[in-house]
Structure 1
């Protein structure tokens, strides 16, 4: 979707817990050395018992402080969209309203957005539509967070494509001004591939209600067995969906990949990152955020915005640079956005600016906008 009106990212923030190195995971017997070597991953962020919505709150406070420097106040927000890929708390309870209560604390709508790891980009498109349709409010707050420390999740072995990581991210979408202008945003889906994430599981009762773990490898093994027995494999490769989604976003942004300074992608392991994202686009890892994400892991829907914050706050992108945000999720669906950096990162004088991590380890500077 070409964004015809002026829509900006006025603020961005993240919060990441301390890391656990993959070497320590191997030494502890959680992770196989062969898998560690193949993945190229160096560390994963682990939050312990800190609830996912609380990480979203911490990330949001950073994004809101930064957005406030453009003149946006809590009364200017028309909605909050919260994204999650795993359970957030009690059934029948609203994580979005928990985040809303502890950030904006205004009587606006708050909703949870999926699907899966492309949720924040889906929410970004929804926010752009809202701002175009309703001129009564000038901003929308986006948040995302997950904690995979739950007993039914083995973050080290649930998938060979990635290591599940904990953390949160937030962004403020505004019609007024910001550090980056949104040029295009959209997605492409291949619904015939939805069964790949379903595997052999029944739809009812939901797996979590009968104690079934989150295990993508079991579902992949189901399909490998079926294909070996003669079942037809998918006719579509996810990499082709990635290429189509990116092509559409670039055309809508009136640009091309050669003019994109950096790509903020999902925090996949080395092989999957190349097969699904980099090789279909014919780009090198240095063009993306691999040297950062290999210290983080896959933080659900938050990944592209964690990457964008890192690039912007460290001066790795500058005004005039175009950045591609890219994620894929169940469905199968690929979403992407093109933004143009319009302002340099300038921390408030004499204060910390706040990327909100317990330890730096390659993340954005430990400062706090006030």
Structure 2
């Protein structure tokens, strides 16, 4: 088996979450479809306070991770910020802002905004920068989410309950803990418009009298995107499931391992039914996933997998030598898998 092109590992992890909120208690404020919400089986989600932005969360998580690694911001060569939603401002770089607030003034800053798989795909971004910049030794990878509530309903826009929070990983060249083995991404741009907000961009700008547009209900978007063609809708859903497995198999092939070698699958915080289908499609026990963590905290965008990795390491569910797959599906559509050897 040939090794990865660049040696890097995870030296420290940290996360920050908004205030915990009981899903059942808050549900009526977000949705009228309480039966659908109950079927997802989420117990709680996290909501940041007024005035707390995505970069505020990113800075806390990033700074804590550096402290845990025994490093200062001056040691950082690369800051990668992955976010799935809007940042605090338009025409503004939240990655550069995060770099400055951390005090990592000599670090390159990179922004990833490819939906909820960004925190997983970012490992490849770090490995690529390390390959082309041999002087880089330390990277700070941050996945963060702050729901933009005027446009995005936490409980109706998708099949997850969305949370606010951030997680960070300090990645160090040649570090021998949680070593990166491979990252694979499958992209199918035919579905790029599925999550698209109809106004707010250059093609259809916001206007002062245009009201407050919102991303629509997933069932309505599905029907509109596929023009009511039920067969195409079913093919789309089948494609999502097939590629969840295909991207893991591709990452395993690149790393010279098999899917059966993977000890744990840390997926984005989808609902209970989707986790059951994922386990079935992968041919693994549900207990080898992070389903309980997902239902306890909600979907925290690009932070899910880093939070799961931290929790499973701290609990002893992942130990030396274990192979872990960080996986995600994101609008675009993207399917991503990163393999790490603990």
Shift of 1:27: 5.7
CA distance in 2, matches of 1:224, 1:333: 19
Contact 2:48/2:165 (CA < 8 Å) preserved in 1? Answer: yes
Decide whether aligned partners of structure 1 residues 215 and 255 sit closer, same or farther in structure 2, where only a CA change above 3 A counts: same
Contact 2:164/2:300 (CA < 8 Å) preserved in 1? Answer: yes
> What corresponds to 1:108 in structure 2?
107
CA distance in 2, matches of 1:78, 1:164: 32
Shift of 1:203: 6.8
> What corresponds to 1:366 in structure 2?
none
Summarize the alignment of residues 1-370 of structure 1 with structure 2, pairs less than 5 Å apart: 3-26=4-27, 30=31, 32-49=33-50, 50-68=52-70, 72-148=71-147, 150-159=149-158, 161-177=159-175, 179-198=177-196, 204-206=202-204, 211-217=212-218, 218-223=220-225, 225-228=227-230, 234=235, 237-275=239-277, 277-341=278-342
CA distance in 2, matches of 1:102, 1:264: 30
Decide whether aligned partners of structure 1 residues 137 and 203 sit closer, same or farther in structure 2, where only a CA change above 3 A counts: closer
Contact 2:40/2:271 (CA < 8 Å) preserved in 1? Answer: yes
Greater mean alpha carbon deviation, residues 141-150 or residues 162-171: 141-150
The 3-state SS of whatever aligns with 1:111 is strand
Decide whether aligned partners of structure 1 residues 106 and 10 sit closer, same or farther in structure 2, where only a CA change above 3 A counts: same
CA distance in 2, matches of 1:232, 1:40: 24
CA distance in 1, matches of 2:338, 2:49: 32
Greater mean alpha carbon deviation, residues 300-309 or residues 185-194: 185-194
The 3-state SS of whatever aligns with 2:229 is helix
Give the TM-score, by structure 2 length.
Answer: 0.89
* Matched residues, number: 335
Decide whether aligned partners of structure 1 residues 64 and 193 sit closer, same or farther in structure 2, where only a CA change above 3 A counts: same
Uncovered stretches (5+) of structure 2, i.e. residues with no partner: none
Contact 1:42/1:295 (CA < 8 Å) preserved in 2? Answer: yes
Deviations 1:351-370 (A, max 9, x none): xxxxxxxxxxxxxxxxxxxx
Shift of 1:178: 5.0
Uncovered stretches (5+) of structure 1, i.e. residues with no partner: 342-370
Give the TM-score, by structure 1 length.
Answer: 0.83
Shift of 1:73: 4.5
CA distance in 1, matches of 2:155, 2:306: 23
**CA RMSD, aligned part only?**
2.6
Deviations 1:111-132 (A, max 9, x none): 2112111111222101001112
